[in-house]
Amino acid sequence: MFNQAVNMADMTEEKKRLLLKQLLARKGQGQAAEQEAGEIPEEYYRVDKFPGYRMLMEQMETFKALAMDNPYFSAHEGVSDHLTHIDGKDYINYSGYNYLGLSGHPEVSAGAKAAVDRYGTSVSASRIVSGEIPLHRELEAALAHIHGTEDCVALVSGYATNVSVIGHLFGPNDLLLHDSLIHNSVVTGCQLSGARRLAFPHNDYDALEKLLVENRKQHQRVLIIIEGVYSMDGDIPDLPRFIEVKKRHKCLLMVDEAHATGVIGPRGFGSHDHFGIDAGEVDIWMGTLSKSFASCGGYICGSKALIDNLKYNAPGTVLFSVGISPANTGAALASAKIMMREPERAQRLRAKAALFLECAKAHGLDTGPSSGTAVVPIILGNSMHCLRLGQKLAQAGIGVHPIMYPAVPEDASRLRFFITHNLADEEIVYTVNTLAEALSALK
């Protein structure tokens, strides 16, 4: 079968897995034979032979064969807002998460510029030694207020926040239970910790309960990790039910608010605002500064005990990592002040997303479980359709990126639309109408 042309698009997922298993087995046999003969396989010491790179090159060849432009690493020639300019052309932009339209807002830009004028372009040290500036604590106080917690610590990277914090707080005697659709940064943090890791089906608190009944007493600390809004499907978990489970089994609960803060809740303050709960019911609130806060970095909100532990003991937080740059701190602080002052921004954003969903459903498009958030997938279940449809939309002046296997299963391949505050209603209607027409023609 290896000498025959194989049409992957026509194969079932089961057949694809079988083919991959056979290919890997054959490849492993070849590597074993080379090593037995005293030869070290090239992919062990040549970067251009690494499997990941070779897979990437195969994908680039697919783009060429289909006469498609590479949809990745497009350079924006201005602010990434509801409109953007790429390679000399204007697009309605659905590929950025400037949710509240604050990146490019005059007040936010002024906050970044004022911070640079006063503190320079870098704090030039980790905060625990000499890299602290007053803006750091001002920002953390604002974030703690938004999340309703005692304290907060801000870090230079959202991804590194999950990796560093989970990796520091938990170890080999502990158990980490996360939603099956959790972000890769959480999985990486779990792996770094050395703790046992188990995934439960998406949003299934009953399955989580069962795992805890079976495993809780064999471990010391147990952490449950979910997202406030899931970045691929745009759905919201039943947080109060997860809180009940964590209390019943004496666990800790962590909620990743990257796509929730600034979006859900009457004030846009995230999950605790949306459900009207005491934020202290959740042990660890994580968030990012690159979305609603129009900056770059990550943060953890929680009790003073949690934050002091991280600030003084966690290697990847402020202990061995440089402090957030003055510009990023100033921009995030200005955005937080606007968010607190103008809760109507989150309300308008959700209205835009509701309009997109309404139009999409009127055309019979599959939007998955998205509801009440700024993430709307159009699920196509076919990677080639995703690529071709994305190209058709780009030709019509609409910028959206395909999400395909292995980021999601093949039957969940999709175009993912990030809805942002400054989108005009007519831009949304035009987008969905164009999408529906192009999809109909493609099929």
DSSP string of 353-402?
Answer: HHHHHHHHHHTT---TT--SSSEEEEE-S-HHHHHHHHHHHHHTTEE-EE
Q: Cα separation of 188 and 1, whole Å?
A: 36
**Chain position carrying tokens 């590597």:** 31
For the chain, 443 residues long, give each residue's pLDDT as a single digit of tens.
Answer: 333 444 555 556 566 556 656 655 665 666 566 566 678 998 898 999 898 888 888 878 877 776 777 777 888 888 999 999 998 899 999 999 999 999 999 999 999 999 999 999 999 999 999 999 999 999 999 999 999 999 999 999 999 999 999 999 999 999 999 999 999 999 999 999 999 999 999 999 999 999 999 999 999 999 999 999 999 999 999 999 999 999 999 999 999 999 999 999 999 999 999 999 999 999 999 999 999 999 999 999 999 999 999 999 998 887 889 999 999 999 999 999 999 999 999 999 999 999 999 999 999 999 999 999 999 999 999 888 898 999 999 999 999 999 988 788 889 999 999 999 999 999 999 999 999 999 999 87
- Cα 88 to Cα 146, 393, 437, distances in angstroms: 39, 16, 25
Report the predicted TM-score, pTM, of the whole model to 2 decimal places. Answer: 0.88
Task: Return the amino acid letter for 211.
Answer: L
Q: Cα separation of 75 and 423, whole Å?
A: 20
3-state DSSP percent of the chain in helix, strand and coil, to 5: 50, 15, 35
Neighbouring C-beta atoms of residue 234, cutoff 10 Å: 26
Give the single-character DSSP code of 68: -
